[in-house]
Amino acid sequence: MTLDEEIARLSALANPHRFRIIALLAAESLHVSELARRLGMSRALLYMHLQRLESAGYVTGHLELSDDGKALKFFEVVPFEVTTNVARIVAAVAADTESTH
């Protein structure tokens, strides 16, 4: 795990909307429009947050066809455990310094 990746992991989580998205998806898989309604936010905004979460690997989305033929994009959480401590940070910085130097 590089320094950049480590930071991307942390910053992808550091947002209240994204916390709520994860909390909702933890209970059940939902499609984008439904999720937007429950969170009371615009779809456009939700998309941005979902992409940030998906890039970091915290959620994953896939298209699904509903009974009445609509394409729904469902998202679900990918179980994760993010741990950061002094040793990890030292290692990430050291690795980065060597690769860059």
Residues engaged in binding a copy of itself (CB under 8 A): 3-4, 6-7, 10-11, 13-16, 19-20, 22-23, 26-27, 77, 79-86, 89-90, 92-94
The type of residue at 19 is F
How many CB atoms within 10 Å of residue 22?
17
Residues 6+ apart with CB under 8 A from 69: none
Distance, in Å, from the CA atom of 40 to the CA atom of 85, rounded to the nearest integer, reads: 35
Instruction: Tell the smallest beta-carbon distance from residue 75 to DNA (Å).
Output: 9
Q: Which does 98 bind (CB under 5 to 8 A by kind): DNA, a copy of itself, none?
A: none
Interacting residues with DNA (CB under 7 A) = 11, 14-15, 17, 31-34, 41-45, 47-49, 52, 61, 63, 68-73
